[in-house]
Amino acid sequence: MAKLESASKPMQGRSVWALFFSLPIFAWAMYDFANTIFSSNIVTVFYPFYLKETLGSSEEMNQIASTFITYSNALSSFFLVLLSPLFGVWIDRTGKKKAYLVPFTLVAIIATFLMGASAVWDTNKEWLGLNTSILGVILFFMVAKFFYNSSLVFYDSMISDLGNEREIPLISGLGVAVGYVGTLVGLIAFLFVHDNHFESTFIPSAVMFLIFSLPIMFLYKEKRQKPVASHKSLLSGYREIWTTFKEARKYQAAFTFMIAYFFFNDAIATAIAVMAIYANTVMGFSTGQFILLYLVSTVSSVIGSFLFGYVTRSIGPKKAVTIVAIILIVAISLASLATSQSIFWVAGSLYGVSMGAMWVTSRTLIVQLTPEEKRGQFFGLFAFSGKVSSIVGPLLYGSITWAMASTGNLASRVALGSLLVLVIIGLTVHMRVPQKLQNPA
């Protein structure tokens, strides 16, 4: 009870510039810069373009390429669902975050490098009807994405060590905004593309991911941790997660938001994976036009991240998440119904704002709704919720494009429109989330 009383007292926060020039916060934010290069270059832009170029020879085959893109994302997320609940338990048990983040990051970087090596492998061998070289790219993509997403559990939970309740919204906004600046820098990999050989971007992206991860590896100093009281088996982590689920009634606010976030992330993660091929095949954007659209959307994300850092501090994270969800609904509606590229430009810009702002507001709301001693475990649970949704959304989208492939671009429009339903469900659930942490009985 004392914690709740002290938390309710006004907190003095450092100035914006004092936060931005703090070495731990700088190192933490630069990791967002680094991992967003992977997310942007590999997940969103060049991996989808690579599969579209190697598999898509007609409107129908473009839909099949969309299915491979979404299914490979879904399979990677499936393994995250199996393992990510353990990560939060590791944090609570050891207090360590950087010790796990660094090796996970290095594996993701190595797998990204191997995507590039596999893509240039000249072989006539086939398996399951696909060239072995292409299958290698798909396999290493799933490995890279798994370890990239896993590292984010440890990265996101670091934010509670960087500032107090008043400072966290601004720190969160800084991290996301710096991340999207990383997107702008990462897109210089497009200069390596010649004659639509998008695979030439994979290795440069891995190199940039490594370089900009160096600050958190060498400059970020983790707080001294207390000795671990006991050593439990690895499988005991699943029992602890199950216990947390059973205790969710005591933390109803956090549990309710986890459900809402499931649907929000469902739409966001799927749209990220398919936006490049959707713009190219449905809206007729050339690669260069899409890169420009993506740059504009990224700038919108930077603006949205900074803006909603202040909005969240002003009106609270719950109301801020509500506003972001409404913006996301408008963006998906426009994108799925757009008949001209100009409308799609508006949709892309609004989506950029909502994507950056959702991560800022949701991370802040998670901190507000969870008790400090359970925070690592709840970050693991929210990662679990997000990763389950990263299976469902892509599977839904890919199944629609597979089933309706013969209808051509209509299949993609229907698939994208299905995400609208998910956001509306999420918003309905989110409205039931209380404003503040509830003291469990």
User: What average pLDDT does the structure give for the chain?
Assistant: 84
Q: Could you tell me the two tokens for 119?
A: 């893509």
Contact between 88 and 380 under an 8 Å Cβ cutoff? The reply is: yes
pLDDT of residue 434: 78
pLDDT at 41 over 90: yes
- Once rounded to an integer, what is the mean pLDDT over residues 46-59? 84
Q: Which tokens go with 275?
A: 């936006």
For 360, the token pair is 């800022």
pLDDT in tens, 93-103: 787 889 999 99
Average pLDDT over residues 80-93: 77
pLDDT tens profile 157-168:
888 788 777 788
Please give the single-letter amino acid code of residue 159.
I
Q: Whole-angstrom Cα distance, residue 326 to residue 3?
A: 34
Closest CA to 198 of 10, 19, 21, 47: 47
**Which helix (H) or strand (E) segment is 101 a member of?**
helix 98-119
The stretch 188-202 carries a mean pLDDT of 92
Q: Are 371 and 92 in contact (CB under 8 A)?
A: no
Give the pLDDT band (50/70/90) at residue 87: confident
> For residue 437, what pLDDT is reported?
55
| pLDDT tens profile 291-302 | 899 888 888 887
Query: What tokens were used for 237?
Result: 């982590």
**b/e sequence 236-247, b meaning 16+ C-beta within 10 Å:** ebeebbeebeee
Give the three-state DSSP class for 131: strand
Burial class (CB in 10 A: 0-12, 13-18, 19+), 45: buried
Q: Say how far apart CA 54 and CA 12 lie, in whole Å.
A: 56
Considering 17-26, 122-131, 235-244, 420-429, the range whose residues carry the highest mean pLDDT is: 420-429
Helix (H, G, I), strand (E, B) or coil at 130: strand
State the pLDDT at residue 186.
Answer: 93
- At residue 407, does pLDDT exceed 50? yes
d(CA 365, CA 53): 41
- CA 379 vs. chain centroid, Å, equals 14
pLDDT at 3 over 70: no
Per DSSP, 201 falls in state G
Highest mean pLDDT among 136-150, 374-388, 407-421: 136-150
Distance (Å, whole) CA 13 – CA 164: 7
Handedness of CA 221, 222, 226, 231 (dihedral sign): negative
- Can you read off the two tokens belonging to residue 149? 């997403």
Q: pTM for the full model?
A: 0.79
pLDDT tens figures, 301-339: 878 888 888 898 888 889 999 999 999 999 999 999 998
pLDDT at 28: 93
Task: Name all domains of the chain by residue range, CATH numbers in brackets.
Answer: 29-221+240-430 (1.20.1250.20)
Q: How does residue 367 score in pLDDT terms, banded at 50, 70 and 90? A: confident
Q: Which of 69-78, 197-206, 231-240 has the lowest mean pLDDT?
A: 231-240
Q: What is the rounded CA–CA span in Å between residue 108 and residue 146?
A: 8
